[in-house]
Amino acid sequence: MLAVFIKEFQQMMRDRLTFAMAVGIPILQLVLFGYAINTDPKGLPTAVVSSDNSAMARSFVAALQNTGYFRVSHSGISESQGEALIANGQAQFLVVIPANFSRDVVRGEMPAILVSVDATDPSASGNALAALNLVASQALRHDLTGPLRALQGTPAPFELRIHKRYNPEGLSRYNIVPGLIGTILTMTMVMLTGLGMTRERERGTMENLLATPVRPSEVMVGKILPNVVIGYLQLGVVMAAAFLLFEVPMVGSFALLMAMIGVFIVANLAVGFTFSTVARNQLQAVQMTFFFFLPSMLLSGFMFPFRAMPVWAQWIGEVLPLTHFLRIVRGILLKGNTAAQVLPELWPMLAFLFVAGVIALKRYRQTLD
């Protein structure tokens, strides 16, 4: 038994990649769950459209920021510009203060302030919306003094009208089901391509492939294209379930969605091909897939609000193609975004695809020696 133990330990130490994965994955989980994950997002970008440049209007905006949940990122804009910011995902909230706000408050006419929120991810804005109740009752306490003291307290001297855009009922499946498209494709596409090349080595057919006159780029494309078909088959199953079982709306262009999914599939397949040039067997390919899938799932905004993460985690998340794909698919399905609106999220995926493809080809050329 001791001899078998020594033999297995030595064999394990020789497989440095597997040993590194066994140690690295728990460390990665501890760092992500301990430092990066936060379910209470604050500092959410807020666009303010104020038609009343009065002290009371400024007090209300200041009260919003004092809660910590709202960060005024855009001001001095028109309402149409604010609507565009919400549609493009650049702002989480749009606050519209009407003209003559302070005059109507003093007269007791209960003016209405419109608060529009991007509710595609209900968990990202839930606590911020709850904080609005406190804002309504406390925002003007320093302005309503002297003869206006009677206006303090409950109910508030103005009305807050909250408009949940794109998901009025706050249904979590509208956020989760589109996200599942990206997470399922990420896991399966990377794994299938990673296993494809390592299987060639384990079965002894790699030598036959290297003996053929095909170039590295041709091998890469030939390995990727069949998995693209599999990816679209998986997509068909998920999309059918999304529309028939979960009743997820389809507001935007179906053709645009299919094109964006194609880019995302190829980007993940390029990652899998890169892993296959590093892994020596299928077990290592699976481990490397999990090492890529875990941060993609946690830092992309699929499970936890993206804006709740610290800045360094958001930087990492911006590199991952799943982050941009989730914004694209939710924007097309729920908001009806056009090609011009998804372009800012498309080019990072194309850049990732280019870098992954170049690395894969470089690595593959090394295996020809």
pLDDT at 360: 82
- Helices and strands in the chain, H and E counts: 14, 5
Residues 247-281: tens digit of each pLDDT: 888 888 999 999 999 999 999 988 888 888 887 77
Contacts of 360 (CB under 8 A, 6+ apart): 220, 270, 273, 274, 277
What superfamily in CATH does domain 44-165 come from? abc type-2 transporter like domain (3.40.1710.10)
| Predicted confidence (pLDDT) at residue 229 exceeds the cutoff of 50 | yes
pLDDT at 36: 80
**Phi, psi (deg, nearest 5) at residue 264:** -65, -40
Region(s) of the chain under CATH 3.40.1710.10: 44-165
Residues 81-131: tens digit of each pLDDT: 999 999 888 999 999 999 888 888 888 888 899 999 998 888 888 889 888
Rounded Cα–Cα distance for residues 340 and 363 (Å): 35
Rounded Cα–Cα distance for residues 162 and 35 (Å): 32
Residues 307-321: tens digit of each pLDDT: 888 888 999 999 999
If you average pLDDT over every residue of the chain, what do you get? Answer: 85
Contacts of 47 (CB under 8 A, 6+ apart): 72, 73, 74, 75, 77, 81, 82, 85, 86, 91, 93, 94, 95
Write the single-letter amino acid at 143. Answer: D
pLDDT at 368: 43
Per the structure block, which two tokens stand in for 301?
């905004």
- Whole-model pTM: value is 0.84
Contacts of 343 (CB under 8 A, 6+ apart): none
Q: Return the percent helix, strand and coil in the chain, to nearest 5.
A: 70, 10, 25
Contacts of 209 (CB under 8 A, 6+ apart): 200, 219
Per the structure block, which two tokens stand in for 217?
């780029």
Peptide bond connecting 45 to the previous residue in cis, omega within 30 degrees of 0: no
